[in-house]
Structure 1
Amino acid sequence: MSLTPQQQEQFRALAAEIEGIDVEVYQRFERDPLEPIIGLGKPNQRIGFFGRDPGRDEVRHGEPFIGTGGQLVRKALYEHLYDEKMPDFEASRAVGEHFFWINTVPYKPVGNKAWSMKVKRHFHGLMNEVLISRWEGRTLITLGREAFLWFGIGRSKEERARLEAFWQREDRFESSIEVTLEDDRGEAQTFQLYPLPHPSPLNQTWYARFPGLLNQRLEQLDVRKDNLAL
């Protein structure tokens, strides 16, 4: 599944208007810094993953969720689906084809710092459109606080407070919450969010527990080899 040519051009135009894209890393891997890194996947994949932004390995391979944190996710997916250790990098790429992948901003920031709210707002309408128009699934596993609270951008004060309150709950990594998105065309769709911590090795509080928490979510969502598509 790919973006429409119009969406592709819209991303490139939006990217040209901001500062902070890690151009040096894009040049090192001979990649176009205006080209969005969005994994998408087949439109009928039942489960999606919503993360923060691409890193160096994502730029290198032109795929999201393929670096250290993404490998932790993919390893857990592989072991859950096939009940054996993931053999190699190519297997990690292949298992990703069974899921939909998207980020708050599809460009690598300098220093891997989270994008500012201004930049996230800059891309928000188009990211909403991609989520609503390019994917038929409605179940999203969000990775980390930044990704989860992205769903409050442009919403009412009450809606932002509702999401913030959910994130403060002790059981946030076992529970889920419903949100409705609307894009700039007036199209709306409701999604169910299943938050998890960010899978970065720098996230010492949760890194070791992440595979178990993700496996718990996969059980909760009845993810099986014969139940991956709508």
Structure 2
Amino acid sequence: MTASLKDLIRDIRREAERADFPVDREVYERAGKEPAEPILFAGTLEAPACIFGRDLGKDEVKYGQPLVGAGGKLVREGILRAFGTPGDPVPRTREDLEAALKFAILTNTVPYKPPGNKAYADSVKERFRPFVARLLVEHWGGRHVITLGTEAFQWFARYGREDDFAGIGKSDQRFKAAFPCRLEVAGQSGTGPVSKELIVMPLPHPSPLNRKWIPRFPALLDERLREVRRAHAG
């Protein structure tokens, strides 16, 4: 981990300790983890794809990585289908699926677990937005972000074209569309702002409870990752 990335994680922790916000302390305690310690991302910062979710679940806290539970398993399987070597054994365990981290980074709108299964309030998302944006702009080398669910997709709305997010972004057609976005963060150590162009590619949330979309999720993810591969190859 580079010094600047350690600084980012330190800054997130300081913000978490600055003022209380809802955290599922019982889950952190069972896992033997500190509630103030962020679980910011897993994966390879040079990877072409970012998978962007809502927030952490109990499995994510236990293993210290985003997207480890049932939905994360589908995501990691898809990444290996897209980027793995043909003929590789089918991944069957959580450890096997760790290989997906070579080809993507996995992160969330907030690097903490909320109580229960409720999404964080907008006020909490805004507290941690600058830090997540720094990860995407300053540390990750890719440009294609695949969002999972409405909360993750709408996190990017302010960075894109308002008409796109208010129009096709409200329909099921968004799962085949791409949304150009421009993120800008304040430069560190007194430097000017830093910006980055991203392509946001929304997908439904891969929850087993999402009965409308869960049967179609693997195929939708495969198509999104094919788009990333084509763009990266070009």
TM-score, length basis structure 2: 0.87
Q: Pick from 189, 193, 204: which aligns with 2:211?
A: 204
CA deviations on 1:182-219 (whole Å, 9 max, x unpaired) are 11332111100111101111211111110111011122
Hey, what's the Cα distance between the residues in 2 that align with 1:33 and 1:184? Answer: 27
Is this contact kept in 1: 2:45–2:104, CA < 8 A? no
Q: Residues 85 and 123 (structure 1 numbering): CA distance in 2 closer, same or farther, change over 3 Å?
A: same
For 1:147, which of 143, 149, 152 is the aligned residue? 152
Alignment partners' CA distance in 1, 2:163 and 2:20:
28
Runs (5+) with no aligned partner, structure 1: none
Higher strand share: 2
Measured in 1, the distance between the counterparts of 2:120 and 2:71 equals 18
Q: Distance in 1 between matches of 2:81 and 2:7?
A: 38
How far residue 161 of structure 1 moved from its aligned partner, in angstroms, is 4.8
Aligned to 1:105: 110
- Identity of matched residues, %: 35
Aligned to 2:121: 116
Alignment of 1:1-230 (within 5 A): 1=1, 4-16=5-17, 17-80=19-82, 81-82=84-85, 85-153=90-158, 159-185=161-187, 186-222=193-229
Structure 1 residue 27, shift from structure 2 partner: 0.3
The change in CA–CA distance for 1:219 and 1:5 in structure 2 (over 3 A counts) is closer
Q: CA deviation at 1:82?
A: 4.4
Number of matched pairs: 224
**SS state at 1:190 partner:** strand
AA at the equivalent of 2:211: Q
Q: Contact conserved, 2:146 with 2:201, CA < 8 A, in 1?
A: yes
Name the SS for the 1:195 alignment partner.
Answer: strand
Distance apart, 1:40 and its partner CA? 4.2
8 Å Cα contact 1:50/1:143 also seen in 2:
yes
Query: Deviation digits for residues 130-186 of structure 1, max 9, x if unmatched?
Result: 110111111111111100100125x6xx94453232322342111201000111332
Question: What's the C-alpha RMSD, in Å, of the aligned pairs?
Answer: 2.3
Contact 1:79 1:85 in 2 (8 A): no
Distance 1:160 1:76 in 2: 30
Alignment partner of 2:181: what SS?
A: strand
Which amino acid letter does the alignment assign opposite residue 113 of structure 2?
K
Q: Which stretch has the larger CA shift, 100-109 or 84-93?
A: 84-93
In structure 2, give the amino acid aligned to 1:130: L
Runs of 5+ consecutive residues of structure 2 not aligned to the other structure: 188-192
Question: Letter of the aligned partner of 1:141 in structure 2?
Answer: I
How far does residue 220 in structure 1 lie from its aligned partner after superposition? 2.4
